[in-house]
Amino acid sequence: MSVTVSMVKELRERTGAGMMECKKALVETAGDLDAAVEELRKSGQAQADKKSGRVAADGRIVVKHNGSKAVIAEINSETDFVAKDENFIAFTEAVAAAALASDTTDVAALATQSIVDGRSVEEARTELITKVGENISVRRISIVDNAGPTGSYTHGGRIGAVVTLEGGDVELAHDIAMHVAAINPVCIDESGVPAESLERERRIFSEQAQASGKPPEIIEKMVTGRVAKFLREITLVGQPFVKDSDLTVGKLLDAAGARVTSFVRYEVGEGIEKKGENFADEVMQQIADAKKDD
């Protein structure tokens, strides 16, 4: 059976695969569209398996809300170019929606959940890898469910934050989420600072103060002051508000009769070790990988 242009076009629309891949699959399946779809999916999984070992440290942070519930997710690609691709963006939106609908933060469990077009997350991921030629991974997901106001903020798809409040309103929650995204506090207040971290800083400050040769009572005041400054810098309530540096976040909350009950902040690629390759080497490597896949 001869393979027509319209058959290739239909298969491409159904799978998103490249024109040559579609034609090859149709030839191998004697024009059977359903069999060709299955063949492309198998081929896509094989390509996904090959690419799974490659570092995916770029990507996108996406946030979705449904009433009192919000999800924040990080989905990774290998390059910023793919992170801006409309197909990748659509996939990230579908992943976040599936997480919100299934109420799961387990990446392995989410892979089996269906997205709006009926495919599973894993099927969609595999087909996207075939289309864009890069490793794609769903890295992490957090879900918050709050009786009070919940706000979120994303910056260029690179950084995202979700904040929950007791008291206040959604606008305040959004503003504090913007602050969290920009300033990156360690915790809400002093009670959230790990004891070992606080003790380490106190020891360092003490050693620095003792080197000054000042009397013990002065040294104690110096250490106390430096510890207080350290806590202001790392705690959300102690930091100057990003939209008004004359006002701390704590005072902003007090004025609204509100308090932050939780926050989540994601930044693309944080904690992922990236390869130190220059652009030319990266391009050559992608060309080599493409030849292997062929």
Whether 10 is covered by a domain: the verdict is: yes
- Indicate whether 75 and 150 sit together in one domain: yes
Residue 241: inside a domain, yes or no? no
pLDDT at 293 over 70: no
Same domain, 166 and 289: yes
Give the residue with greater pLDDT, 80 vs 211.
80
Same domain, 91 and 112: yes
177 and 217 assigned to the same domain: no
Q: What is the DSSP letter of 118?
A: S
Does any domain span residue 244?
Answer: no
8 Å CB contact between 43 and 21: yes
% residues pLDDT > 70 (the chain): 85
Q: What is the mean pLDDT of residues 154-165?
A: 96
Same domain, 117 and 211: no
Average pLDDT of span 113-133: 90
**Do 110 and 152 belong to one domain?**
yes
CATH of the domain at 222: 1.10.286.20
Q: Which residues contact 209 (CB under 8 A, 6 or more apart)?
A: 219, 222, 223, 226
Question: Which residue intervals of 119-163 are DSSP H helices?
Answer: 121-132
Q: Does 145 lie in the same domain as 89? A: yes
pLDDT at 88: 96
| 69/171 same-domain check | yes
Residue 156 lies in a domain: yes
Domain count, the chain: 3
164 and 280, same domain (yes or no): yes
The stretch 107-111 carries a mean pLDDT of: 94
Q: Evaluate whether residue 98 is within a structural domain.
A: yes
104 three-state secondary structure: coil
State whether 136 and 47 are in the same domain: no
259 found inside a domain: no
pTM: 0.73
26/3 Cα distance (integer angstroms): 7
Whether 63 shows a pLDDT value over 80: the answer reads yes
Residue-wise pLDDT for 228-278, tens only, equals: 898 999 999 999 999 999 999 999 999 999 999 999 999 999 988 665 444
Provide the pLDDT for residue 294. 54
Q: Are residues 149 and 107 in the same domain?
A: yes
The mean pLDDT of 49-64, rounded to a whole number, is 74
| Band of residue 290 on the pLDDT scale cut at 50, 70, 90 | low
Give the per-residue pLDDT at 140: 96
* Cβ within 8 Å of residue 49, ≥6 positions away: none
Nearest to 53 by CA among 122, 129, 108: 129
Is 247 part of any domain? no
**What is the predicted pLDDT for the residue at 130?**
82
Q: Clarify whether residues 73 and 47 are in a common domain.
A: no
Which range among 35-49, 74-88, 210-224 has the greatest average pLDDT?
A: 74-88
* Domain that residue 224 falls in: 194-234
Q: What is the pLDDT of residue 291?
A: 54
The verdict on residue 271 lying in a domain is yes
pLDDT at 6 over 90: no
Q: What is the residue-averaged pLDDT of the chain?
A: 85
The owner of tokens 């319209």 is: 6
CATH number of residue 110's parent domain: 3.30.479.20
Residue 213 reports pLDDT greater than 80: no
Question: What pLDDT was estimated at residue 277?
Answer: 47
d(CA 184, CA 120): 34
